[in-house]
Amino acid sequence: MPRSDQSQSMSPERRTAAPHPGQEHYTAPLSETPLKDVDAFDDTSTPRSMWRQAAHSLLRDPVFIVSAILIAFILFVVAFPGVFTSQDPTAGSLANANQDPSGEHPFGTSRQGYDIFSRVIHGTRTSVIVGFFTMIGSTLIGAAIGALAGYVGGWVDEIVSRVVDVFFAIPLILGAIVIGARFQGIDSIWVVILVLSVFGWTNIARITRGAVIGVKSQEFVMASTALGAGRFSNLMRHVLPNALAPIIVTATVNLGVFIVAEATLSFLGVGLPPTVVSWGGDISTARTSLTTHPMQLMYPSIGLAVTVLSFIMLGDAVRDALDPKAKKR
């Protein structure tokens, strides 16, 4: 049938006039295309906020569930080490050196006669405490500096960015070795936390600066300024809360990094003193027995690896929940 005859046979309700012949558009009447159940939208439900949506995604993510279970177990070990062992990790006897695993010593004993299982359990507390408080300290320093540079801008941003570049050029371990050697012999984990915090804030500062720059130009910030809110009030009440997502992700991953850094410093002999039970110190001590008793080194290494992997998995899961586009990329 010619197109003109076909157009004339169509009902008027379905034909839309066109500026040129042959460009007519036809739509089906609503009675012929009813709304299906699958197309229905419940406009009575309360919309989810970004944090509620992230929590909903995390509870359905197997990576988050596995990492959360592991971290919960690790925190239980940190809080209640006596549930798992009654041995004193600092009580060693050369008469019990290099014993094989037994009922009294599940992982055997070290060359100094220490119970390896007890030291692995109690070493968890040291590593997690150092990692956690270093993460808190570096996040506070980096977030404050990055927020200042990103929100104020101008010459303040230029100066702060150059300072961040200077610290960023110094490797974390190298800087901690130089400063840690100055305090070697002080029997305190707070010195290690301070040293790692001084060199571990740069990544957080860069992330915070970029997030703040992206948020401060949003319409709700401009509206708050128009209503009379001050710059500091805008920063604390509107900008920083909406820039927290990348900061939380980076801080979670950094916790595992700081645990490894503490173990590395203790392994090199410039971290925690020998009187403090730590995985890094035990790994350093056990390396001399690697050929004859390799499991003395493997046990604290496995504890370190599982702990760090748990926090890195948690950081990846939180990143995917707070930034779904990152997962697609």
What confidence category does residue 132 fall into, taking pLDDT thresholds of 50, 70 and 90? very high
- 95 and 148 Cβ atoms separated by less than 8 Å: no
Closest CA to 264 of 144, 168, 176, 132: 176
Give domain status of residue 133, yes or no. yes
Task: Give the mean pLDDT of 251-265.
Answer: 89
- Mapped onto helix, strand or coil, the DSSP state of residue 159 is helix
Give domain status of residue 116, yes or no. yes
pLDDT for 56 beyond 60: yes
Looking at residue 141, what is its pLDDT?
Answer: 93
Looking at residue 151, what is its pLDDT?
Answer: 87
Closest CA to 289 of 116, 117, 122, 127: 116
Q: What is the DSSP letter of 151?
A: H
Task: Give the mean pLDDT of 231-244.
Answer: 81
List beta partners, residue 109: 115
Looking at residue 39, what is its pLDDT?
Answer: 52
Closest CA to 262 of 134, 137, 158, 168: 134
What confidence category does residue 307 fall into, taking pLDDT thresholds of 50, 70 and 90? very high
Looking at residue 292, what is its pLDDT?
Answer: 82
pLDDT for 174 beyond 90: no
- 123 and 278 Cβ atoms separated by less than 8 Å: yes
Separation CA 254–CA 139 (nearest Å): 9
- Mapped onto helix, strand or coil, the DSSP state of residue 5 is helix
What confidence category does residue 264 fall into, taking pLDDT thresholds of 50, 70 and 90? confident
Q: What is the DSSP string of 249-261?
A: HHHHHHHHHHHHH
What confidence category does residue 65 fall into, taking pLDDT thresholds of 50, 70 and 90? very high
Count of domains in the chain? 1
Domain that holds residue 302: 69-76+108-328
Q: How far is CA 81 from the centre of its chain?
A: 25
Give domain status of residue 87, yes or no. no
Looking at residue 172, what is its pLDDT?
Answer: 85
- Looking up residue 114, the CATH number of its domain turns out to be 1.10.3720.10
pLDDT tens string 66-98 = 999 999 999 999 999 888 888 888 887 777 788
Looking at residue 319, what is its pLDDT?
Answer: 83
Report the 3 state secondary structure along 265-293: HHHHCCCCCCCCCCHHHHHHHHHHHCCCC
Separation CA 79–CA 124 (nearest Å): 10
Separation CA 267–CA 282 (nearest Å): 8
Give domain status of residue 40, yes or no. no
Closest CA to 89 of 118, 56, 120, 126: 118
Looking at residue 3, what is its pLDDT?
Answer: 46
Q: Which helix or strand (DSSP H or E) is residue 16 part of?
A: strand 15-16
Tell me the average pLDDT of the chain.
80
Which one is predicted more confidently, 3 or 285? 285
Give domain status of residue 91, yes or no. no
Give domain status of residue 295, yes or no. yes
Give the number of residues written for the chain. Answer: 329
Count the Cβ atoms, other than its own, within 10 Å of residue 225: 15
Give domain status of residue 314, yes or no. yes
Separation CA 133–CA 263 (nearest Å): 15
What confidence category does residue 290 fall into, taking pLDDT thresholds of 50, 70 and 90? confident
Looking at residue 25, what is its pLDDT?
Answer: 62
Closest CA to 116 of 284, 312, 279: 279
Q: What is the DSSP string of 46-96?
A: PPPPHHHHHHHHHTT-HHHHHHHHHHHHHHHHHH-GGGT--S-TT---GGG
Give domain status of residue 19, yes or no. no
C-alpha pair distances (Å), 248 with each of 45, 102, 136, 239, 318: 29, 43, 11, 15, 8
User: What percentage of the chain has pLDDT greater than the value 70?
Assistant: 81
Q: What is this structure's pTM?
A: 0.77
Looking at residue 50, what is its pLDDT?
Answer: 66
pLDDT for 11 beyond 50: no
User: What angle do the packed helices 62-79 and 116-152 form, to 10 degrees?
Assistant: 120
**Which residue type does 151 have?**
Y
pLDDT tens string 195-232 = 889 888 999 999 999 888 888 888 877 787 777 777 77
What confidence category does residue 167 fall into, taking pLDDT thresholds of 50, 70 and 90? confident
- Where b means 16+ CB within 10 Å and e means fewer, 108-145 reads bbbbebbbbbbbbbbbbbbbbbbbbbbbebbbebbbeb
- 132 and 255 Cβ atoms separated by less than 8 Å: yes
